Structure 1
Amino acid sequence: MEICIALTSALGCNVQDPEEWPLIAPLPSYGRGRERLGPRHISLIHGEGLNDVVITGDNGTIDGQGRIWWDLWWNRTLNHTRGHLIELVNSTNIMISNITLRNSPFWTVHPVYCRNVVIRNLTVLAPLNAPNTDGIDPDSSSEVCIEDCYIESGDDLVAIKSGWDQYGISVGKPSSNIIIQRVSGTTPTCSGVGLGSEMSGGISNVIVRDLHIWNSAQAVRIKSDVGRGGYITNITIENISMEKVKVPIRFSRGADDHSDDRYDRSALPRISDVRIRNVVGVDLQRAPILEAVHGAVYEGICFRNVSLRVIRRQDRWQCESVYGEAHDVFPAPCEEFRRNGSSWCGHS
């Protein structure tokens, strides 16, 4: 089935009663709604099992009018997981381009179990305190290109995901072969680009380049948790510039965020072969913080040509169970990155 939506003006939704939004089954790789047990609300634009999908316009606008949903979240009266602005499931050959997306109730663009996805020339806007309004979240999807986008949101600008705990492990659909380039924006609570924390199906073969982030919590973050399992490998992050960022690069442990209490506590994430190079940051709060999930060891992490200046609070790197090499890095990295006897990092 082929779908084309062309916008030249504004499209909005005037449904103000959440109970009028249909409920649909949770995604198999999540096992439940992401925020609440049971089913989840459908997205404003939702498609499943589609081929050749085009959503485009001459910078037309789709307004999700998400405030009623944010209020439910803030007031702790949300009964079911919020819907996205755009969600495409089990679909191929997707183009989303040249539009402005505003005020998503939850994640803004969510291709899940999709292949051959191009997301280009989007402007994504949400109030900077709007909860969980991620910009673009490819999830268990492959052959994805995200480029030339401007994003302001209350969560990650771009987050790569692949399922949650034992449900993501069982489904086993990785996110792979993804390019994110020429993305800019701000998020005061989260990251310019995040990998995880829902990464139980695996994430591999990712290139992030030409990223510009300001007034944000982190520029780049790799996040996981005990019970996630999965892997993050063969990741290249390069040509990153940032200003007024709290932590420029962060590998973080989860906050005990699980689908239910049946997750496998022995399922640890495997993080390896991550190359971070050509990074410039000024007016930062801290040096990088690199912490593996308890019980895991992250290896094969390469930093090259990294300059982080005007660090206001803590200019010493913080590392725990994360190992690799660093070349031409300022300020000096932690001891785990000072064993530079090989060439795999210095000349990559």
Structure 2
Amino acid sequence: MGKLLTFILLGLVFASTAESRDYKSCKQKIPYSAINCRKHIAYLTDFGGKGDGIASNTAAFKAAFHNLSKVASDGGALLVVPPGKWLTGSFNLASHFTLYIHQKAVILASQDELDYPLIDPLPPYGSGREAPGKRFSSLIVGTNLTDVVVTGGNGTIDGQGEIWWKKFKAKKLKHTRPYLIEILHSTHVQISDLTLTNSPSWHVHPTYCTNVIIERLTILAPIDVPNTDGINPDSCTDTRIRDSYVISGDDCIAVKSGWDQYGIKYGKPTQRLSIRDFTCISPDSAVIALGSEMSGGIRDVRAEGIRALNSQSGVRIKTGVGRGGYVKDIYVRDVEMDTMKYVFWMNGDYGSHPDPGFDPKALPEITNINYRDMVAKNVKIVGALSGIKGDAFTNICMSNVTVAEEEKDGGSLFGKEKETKLPWNCTDVRGVSSKVTPKACPELVEKEVDCAFPTDTLAIDKVKLNQCFVNV
């Protein structure tokens, strides 16, 4: 009898025209964009899900992915999270799979530590980032997957992170906080058209992945909570980030590739990263941070169409002795900034380490850093560029950059009477500058030049999404 019921259930769920019993009367066809459309469609309610914001749906999510994965190889499978509030703990995604979150649906992350299995630290980190040893699994996890999509009609994933933040500040957590979405060792990954809020820690963490598309995300976190980064591409190849908006208590985008000796040994860089049309508010951190965990290397990053409001810094490079690795071939253009502490900030003394075993002779290579076509106002410090003694940051280029801060009477802070106090501070750096106002520090030799920006198109930028439809 049990086998017969299972057969009947699978037949209902896996039919290509399958619809939730609770939603048969709602046949609105909604378009969405995805790397692949899906043949098989089911609803979380088909697996016992309850959208009342109280009942746990962890078992329902796990059952859905377990059962739908059996037919995903036959044209792909899609799980709809319908309107409602769906409380859940950690669950795993599957290959050839789309998780679709309806516009009026909210996935609520459980606040119970027991709903997040403890897992080992990532090999290139060697330790939990916040505490030695284990870390909590993320809310939505994918490992060793191909063709996985998390999208929706701007549906919401709410990390309900306040209880985690309080425990972290009170030093009551023995393990590193969970992230909201973490995809590892996967290819052809899409995360798009969602609102992500209040993650216990980082919001989106693609790690050791290739061909990653992150588009049209709204990410919101309190500006006074540390480590609530927006998007953290980590040791990924061929990634694009588009049309997204982040308010955060930490870096809006943090590009990473491993920590000290562990990252050096793992040796997997972040490379060919394209960022366009991105807006950030982060009073205590960077719009785009390169590092500080960059020991596997970061190269060929292209950022343009960047808008920063009330943020600590624009594109910031963070590294230090013991990091090894490199940050090179960085290209940034078309940037507008308003109300900033720093426009340009580079640190060679960002010295946090996973443990005392780092190699003090492992020095990073920071070279070929290009900034052009930038405008900023209401700025406190134009540039603070500090390399490492005996390991200078080289081939830095800045061109067509105008920075100003308006005084109350409408005059410029950088008027003639202020020329002897222009806020630049540069040590152990070398490069050139052209048409930079106020005039750059002497280490950036004035020279008629247009800083480089590649003319080729990355393969990931050529990928076009398909128009798909879902009935809800």
Deviations 1:71-114 (A, max 9, x none): 11111111100110000000000111111000011110000000
Q: Trace 1:44-123 onto structure 2 (pairs within 5 A).
A: 44-123=139-218
Of 244, 247, 265 in structure 1, the residue corresponding to residue 342 of structure 2 is: 247
Distance 2:439 2:446 in 1: 13
Is the aligned partner of 1:257 residue 2:364? Answer: no
Q: How many Å apart are 1:191 and its aligned residue? A: 0.4
Q: How many Å apart are 1:338 and its aligned residue? A: 1.9
Deviations 1:245-274 (A, max 9, x none): 011110013442001000000111101111
Distance 2:306 2:183 in 1: 25
Of 272, 290, 314 in structure 2, the residue corresponding to residue 195 of structure 1 is: 290
Instruction: Tell me which residue corresponds to 1:332.
Output: 439
Q: Which has the higher helix share?
A: 2
Is the aligned partner of 1:173 residue 2:280? Answer: no
Q: How many Å apart are 1:70 and its aligned residue? A: 0.6
User: Structure 1 residues 3 and 287 mapped into 2: Cα distance closer, same or farther (>3 Å)?
Assistant: same
In structure 2, the residue corresponding to 1:338 is in which secondary structure?
Answer: strand
Is the aligned partner of 1:3 residue 2:97? Answer: yes
Of 199, 211, 222 in structure 2, the residue corresponding to residue 127 of structure 1 is: 222
Amino acid at match of 2:119: I
Q: Is the 8 A contact 1:177 1:206 kept in 2?
A: yes
Amino acid at match of 2:177: R
Of 316, 321, 324 in structure 1, the residue corresponding to residue 428 of structure 2 is: 321
Distance 1:119 1:345 in 2: 27
Distance 2:213 2:383 in 1: 31
Distance 1:18 1:345 in 2: 49
Q: Is the 8 A contact 1:10 1:63 kept in 2?
A: no
Q: How many Å apart are 1:346 and its aligned residue? A: 8.5
Of 17-26 and 72-81, the range deviating more from structure 2: 17-26
Q: Is the 8 A contact 1:327 1:346 kept in 2?
A: no
User: Structure 1 residues 42 and 191 mapped into 2: Cα distance closer, same or farther (>3 Å)?
Assistant: same
Q: Is the 8 A contact 1:168 1:200 kept in 2?
A: yes
Deviations 1:211-239 (A, max 9, x none): 00011111110110110000011110111
Q: How many Å apart are 1:14 and its aligned residue? A: 5.2
Distance 2:451 2:162 in 1: 46
Amino acid at match of 1:226: V
Distance 2:164 2:349 in 1: 25
TM-score between the two structures when normalised by the length of structure 1: 0.96
Deviations 1:11-66 (A, max 9, x none): 33353222442101111100111111101100000110010011110110000111
RMSD of aligned residue pairs (Cα, Å): 1.7
Of 254-263 and 48-57, the range deviating more from structure 2: 254-263
Distance 1:230 1:121 in 2: 31
Instruction: Tell me which residue corresponds to 2:325.
Output: 230
Amino acid at match of 1:322: V
Instruction: Tell me which residue corresponds to 1:37.
Output: 132
In structure 2, the residue corresponding to 1:245 is in which secondary structure?
Answer: strand
Q: Which has the higher strand share?
A: 1
Q: Is the 8 A contact 2:372 2:450 kept in 1?
A: no
Q: How many Å apart are 1:240 and its aligned residue? A: 0.6
Q: Is the 8 A contact 2:432 2:445 kept in 1?
A: yes
Deviations 1:117-145 (A, max 9, x none): 00000000001112200000000001000
- Give the length in aligned residue pairs: 347
Distance 1:339 1:159 in 2: 31
TM-score between the two structures when normalised by the length of structure 2: 0.71
Is the aligned partner of 1:300 residue 2:395? Answer: yes
Is the aligned partner of 1:28 residue 2:128? Answer: no
Distance 1:346 1:340 in 2: 14
User: Structure 1 residues 2 and 159 mapped into 2: Cα distance closer, same or farther (>3 Å)?
Assistant: same
Distance 1:24 1:11 in 2: 26
- Structure 2 gaps of 5+ residues are 1-94, 407-412, 455-472
Distance 1:76 1:337 in 2: 43
Distance 2:206 2:143 in 1: 10
